[in-house]
Amino acid sequence: MTLKTPEEYLKSIQRDVNIYMFGEKIKNFWDHPIIRPSINAVMKIYELAHVEKYKDIMTTKSHITGEIINRFTHIHQSTDDLIKKVQMQRLLGQHTACCFQRCVGFDTANAVYSVTYEIDKKKNTNYHERFKKYWTEVQQQDLMVDGAMTDPKGDRSKRPSEQSDPDVFVHVKEQKEDGIVVRGAKIHQTGFLNSNRAIIMPTLTMRPGEEKFAVSFGVNTDEKGITIIYGRQACDTRKLEEGKLDVGNYKYGGQECFVIFDDVFIPNENIFMNGEIEFSGELVNRFAGFHRQSYGGCKVGVGDVVIGAAALISQYNGVDKASHIKDKIIEMIHLNETLYSSGIACSALGHQREAGNYEMDMLLANVCKQNVTRFPYEIGRLAEDIAGGLFVTLPSEADWNSKEIGHLLKKYISTCDGVSPDDRYKLLRFIECMSMGVASPSYKTESMHGAGSPQAQRIMISRQANVDEKINLVKKILDIE
């Protein structure tokens, strides 16, 4: 059995990392009040893998070693694996109400697995066996692995090779006999600090002359030359205040990092692409497809919690029997289940790659994520509507607990008999957090930009939709030559 406990995972990330926040280097980051909720969210993955009722979803058998592994380290072997992935992500969203940060590395691994196989077949390289060995270690040690794709990109009107500063794209600075030296940066890196390792990918399709940017490799997150700068989130400094109620979701949270690679050495055995430009776009597309599939699970789980919060606040406010409130909650459920349907559909219609692993239906995965860029905004809007404006005008927790004025606040925030004003306060802060605070980092904004902004999905939908075939259907029905 190769399953870490939450405590073993926590111990594994307690290392010397070059991490900065608010202009200062952070020591013992795992104890920092702003960072710790994101670690708690990851620990929930390790916890649920040991719960008997969830083992079928949270764990599976490795096709490489035959051992039982955490599903987040699995290479999909069937459409059932793809479906269970989405079910697992919904479950974790329900338990944390935030981003639990392990999906990106999971999706990266499955994309790299098939692409390296195809590079080797065409180029006679040995990337695939390198990756299998690398990933076997991940499975056997139940490591947390991040996936890193997004570069700063500099001037968006210019190609990587045209930038005045090449460092705005991760690239190979120097080729050595035993490895490569890389420079650049990756931004929006979900859970990088909380990961043991990371797999780096190119951020777009590279062209002739851009070979140095077509690079993929594995690296330890505490490797020499890596600097991590912790990203800010709305209301994040509330975690530094006394008390916890003003935080909203005070147990769990997401994490985004700005990661800089300053002449980082990567040994040959950890390199999975090095100049093969014709495969760079395919790696990007496959990762994006897997990750857009993921949003049909994780955001649905978070949506379940938002719906629950809206229903509960309606009870606390005494309006849960009103027909328009019921209708709004039904609409929230309809939208959320539509997202889930997309995630399940693209999984059920998955197919096997030449490498043997299974991949979701690319068109439906992009349709899934396109819906995710919209529906959570409406779900969030309806939650705000049901909650009322008080969730953004509440006085602070310090006022709430004040000997002088606290009793007055509790007197005037009280609603129905039997409803604790403390519970109502806590719930209103939670809705504020989910709507605009440090939820995922934000339930809505992450839904918009995570796994690519809306236009990225629309481009893929246009490529996958086969409109010409639809035109031919009409011609056949109408006998048009």
In single-letter form, the type of residue at position 231 comes to G
Catalytic-labelled residue, pool 98, 99, 346, 368? 99
Is residue 99 annotated as a catalytic residue, yes or no? yes
Q: Residue 447: which of 235, 302, 311, 247 has the closest Cα?
A: 302
Catalytic-labelled residue, pool 118, 256, 397, 432? 256
Q: Residue 298: which of 71, 40, 73, 94 has the closest Cα?
A: 94
CA–CA gap between residue 414 and residue 177 (Å, rounded): 71
Q: Identify the sign of the CA torsion 288, 289, 295, 297.
A: negative
Catalytic-labelled residue, pool 190, 203, 221, 373? 190
Is residue 103 annotated as a catalytic residue, yes or no? yes
Written as six digits, the tokens of 237 are 């400094």
Catalytic-labelled residue, pool 46, 76, 134, 298? 298
Is the backbone of residue 452 left (phi > 0), alpha (psi -120 to 50) or beta? left
Catalytic-labelled residue, pool 118, 276, 432, 446? 446
Written as six digits, the tokens of 426 are 């806590």
Catalytic-labelled residue, pool 128, 291, 340, 397? 291
Around Cβ 406, how many Cβ atoms within 10 Å?
A: 15
Is residue 190 annotated as a catalytic residue, yes or no? yes
Q: Identify the sign of the CA torsion 229, 233, 235, 236.
A: negative
Is residue 128 annotated as a catalytic residue, yes or no? no
User: How would you label 167-203 residue by residue, b for 16+ Cβ within 10 Å and e otherwise?
Assistant: bbbbbbbeeeeebbbbbbbbbbbbbbbbbbbbbbbbb
Is residue 177 annotated as a catalytic residue, yes or no? no
CA 329 to chain centre: 26
Task: Point out the residues that are catalytic.
Answer: 99, 103, 190, 256, 291, 295, 298, 446
